[in-house]
Structure 1
Amino acid sequence: MGLTFAAGAVSVRTPATSANLGPGFDALGLALALYDDLTARVTGGGFAVTVTGEGAGELPADEKHLVVRAMLATFDELGERPPGLAVECVNRIPQARGLGSSSAAIVGGVQLARALVAGGAEDLGAEGALRVAARLEGHPDNVAPCLLGGFTIAWTEGAGARSVRLETHPDVRPTVFVPTEKGYTAAARRALPPAVPHADAAFNAGRSALLVHALTTDPRLLFPATEDRLHQGYRGEAMPGTASLVAALRSVGVPAVVSGAGPSVIAFTEVPGDFRAGTQWRAETLGVDGGGALVKGSMVEHAERTTVAAGRTS
């Protein structure tokens, strides 16, 4: 017996994210209160995508669009594809800036597909949704906070990606600095060496542990907790403007790091009012998103806040 698809449209709101957060390379991520709104419905055939906002006129308008690719991968997990899809994307997350635009598209597609299938959220639970999203993205550090909201620690083991979600301290008030120029994760990863000194790895292990404590319990420790020796220094030559801004913010005591693979920068506490980043940067203070990818529609209406590692909803 085939799947039952929703007769009407379903919608999902997906948050921007920042990954790595300094020392937590490929492991730590934070959901930010900046959102893409996606809507999808099943049609009699074909794939049509409408994009407004960020990426309009640049992104594919057919089955090559990342949202549709994520939806089809999720339908495959559930056992059947619909004959066609119509998708509308209202994008506010800057594209290719280190703020999780691809993760927002992937997680949005996974959630839309689950919501378009009767019982889809139960047949493919939050653990399965995270695994599908991480497989498509290639690593779980951005998709975990996008799916779950808040501050997440993600890792991969035999069955795939897993994550735990934590609440941030109320004094954590991120400001993102978004440049006019784009950056690409693949290029940023090519700048990384195949091995690092043992002392640097040990340094980052300690700082990553401290960062978990600082973000959740004691923001006064955010400055030392955001020191990194694993990736930012290697990428600096390819992103000199980003490296200079991080250094300038840290020189006035602001715990700032590269957001994801860059070129955006994220600061975790208030930036002095007289600080000037330069005309090539757009600064925006954002809250921490607590809900993750919120779904509304005829087959499901809920916000999943799941401790995936423990296999329970909280």
Structure 2
Amino acid sequence: MTQTILVPATSANLGPGFDSLGIAVALYLKVEIGVATDTWQVIHPFGATVPSDASNLIVKTALEVDPSIKPHQIKVNSEIPLARGLGSSSSAIVAGLILADALGEHGWSSKELLEMATRIEGHPDNVAPAIYGDLTVSTTVANQVTSIKLPFPDADLVAFIPNYELLTSESRAVLPEALAYRQAVVAGSIGNTLVAALARGDLAQAAPLLEGDCYHEPYRSKLVPELAPLRDFAHANDAVVYLSGAGPTLMMVAPTQTGPKLAIQAQKLGFNGEFVALEIDRQGARLISETN
């Protein structure tokens, strides 16, 4: 029997849902569990900068939650670009947890995976949609993680993935230490209303709210100069744009059956990167077992 772990990429924040909202998108981290070995062997195509032993983030995560699992050979491939705001590290953490669950035969629930992933990652906005799929609304109160899965309204997604990286630490560094009380109230009300519109499946009402963030985009926009011109392009095509996670990826939300065409048209803007039409992943992370 062969076992393969699939974990989707994620796009967090969705504008005003800072550190709480996230969606799963159909780009995948794939981990094939191979034979038992004397030491951990991670076969991947990413070069020397990504470890190929027990220090690899996937294996490191697995050993953190279950140090007793035996070394194996695993083969890793990923469609998720690194340091681009599409949850590459979160997908690796979730894959590591599922690897530990499979090899240790724990039978952990999605809730247990979420709690462990949040403890390791620090917040649930990316790990929750990676585990559950679709749209998730998440928070931590008194060290208790809560995540609600909702169906994201039917829409097409187009990601602009720049050719440059933007580390989360760099993107966090430009944020203010505090917000004025009145500004925080406004920011929270926009996020609350966005969740309500998405929960009702009302993309028409949700669309302007996706661009209404007061928490992070006003400060991070100088790090992603493509944001303003891409918004102009999107508005001319009945679409909206938000900064995916900490960036620099920008996510365009468009009417259904328009995404592939918009991706081709947007490429003519001449930005230094790639436009990719995407779909929502509704299922989340999974372990696929097949009989040889």
- Spell out structure 1 runs of 4+ moving beyond 6 A: none
In structure 1, give the amino acid aligned to 2:63: L
Counterpart in 2 of 1:206?
189
Question: Which of 134, 144, 147 is the matching residue for 2:131?
Answer: 147
**Bigger mean CA offset, 271-280 vs 230-239:** 271-280
Secondary structure at 1:32's aligned position in 2? strand
1:37 to 23, 30, 39: 30
Q: 2:287 aligns with which of 295, 300, 307?
A: 295
Letter in 2 for 1:133: A
Q: How many residues align?
A: 282
Displacement after TM superposition at 1:11 (Å):
1.5
Instruction: Name the CA distance, whole Å, in 1 between partners of 2:138 and 2:87.
Output: 15
User: In the alignment, which of 14, 17, 22 is matched to residue 21 of structure 1?
Assistant: 14
Asked if structure 1 preserves the Cα contact closer than 8 Å seen for 2:90 and 2:127, the reply is: yes
Q: 2:198 aligns with which of 215, 218, 222?
A: 215
Q: TM-score, normalised by structure 2?
A: 0.89
- The answer to whether 1:73 aligns with 2:73 is no
Could you state the TM-score of these two structures normalised by the residue count of structure 1?
A: 0.83
- Aligned twin of 1:181: 164
1:268 maps to amino acid: V
Query: Per the alignment, in what secondary structure is the counterpart of residue 64 of structure 2?
Result: helix
Deviation of 1:262 (Å): 0.2
Contact 1:51–1:57 under 8 Å retained in 2: no
**43, 49, 73: which one aligns with 1:86:** 73
In structure 2, the partner of 1:168 is: 152
Q: What is residue 240 of structure 1 aligned with on the other side?
A: 225
Query: 1:9 and 1:45, CA in 2 relative to 1: closer, same or farther beyond 3 A?
Result: farther
**AA aligned opposite 1:228:** D
Choose which of 209, 212, 215 in structure 2 pairs with 1:230: 215
Q: Cα deviations across residues 209-239 of structure 1 (Å, max 9, x unaligned)?
A: 2222333411111332111111011112233
User: SS of the counterpart of 2:214?
Assistant: coil
C-alpha separation in 2, matches of 1:51 and 1:136? 23
Structure 1 Cα separation of the partners of residues 271 and 221 of structure 2 = 20
Distance across 2 between alignment mates of 1:263 and 1:246: 14
Identity percentage of aligned residues = 32
CA contact (8 A) 2:238 2:254 kept: no
Q: Which runs of 5+ in 1 are unaligned?
A: 1-7, 300-314
On the 8 A contact 2:163/2:272 being kept in 1, the answer is yes
Return closer, same or farther for 1:47/1:160 CA change in 2, 3 Å cut-off. farther
Change (3 A) 1:297 1:116: farther
Cα displacement string for residues 233-254 of structure 1 (whole angstroms, at most 9, x for unaligned residues): 1112233234543455357652
Please state whether the residue corresponding to 1:38 is helix, strand or coil.
strand
The 3-state SS of whatever aligns with 1:237 is helix
- Inter-CA distance 18–277: structure 2 relative to 1 (3 Å threshold): farther
2:43 matched to 1:50?
yes
| C-alpha contact 1:13 1:37 (8 A) present in aligned 2 | yes
Question: Hey, what's the Cα distance between the residues in 2 that align with 1:233 and 1:282?
Answer: 24
Task: Answer yes or no: is the 8 Å Cα contact 2:132–2:149 preserved in 1.
Answer: yes
Query: 2:69·2:103 contact (CA, 8 Å) conserved in 1?
Result: no
Contact 1:10 1:116 (8 Å CA) reproduced? no
Cα shift at 1:39: 1.7
Q: Secondary structure at the match of 1:215?
A: helix
SS of corresponding position for 2:226: helix
Moved more, 185-194 or 270-279: 270-279
Q: CA deviation at 1:105?
A: 0.7
Aligned equivalents of 1:50 and 1:243: distance in 2? 40
Deviation at 1:37, TM superposition (A): 0.8
- Distance (Å, rounded) in 2 between the aligned partners of 1:259 and 1:34: 14
Q: Which moved more, 1:149-158 or 1:83-92?
A: 83-92
Counterpart AA for 1:97? R
Q: Structure 1 residues 108, 243: CA separation in 2 closer, same or farther (over 3 Å shift)?
A: farther
The CA RMSD over aligned residues, in Å, is 2.2
SS at match of 1:39: strand
In structure 2, C-alpha distance between the alignment counterparts of 1:210 and 1:90, rounded to whole Å: 38
Partners of 1:193 and 1:230 in 2: how far apart? 9
Match of 1:259 in 2: 244
Whichever residue aligns with residue 118 of structure 2, its letter is A
Asked whether the 8 Å contact 1:223–1:253 carries over to 2, the reply is no
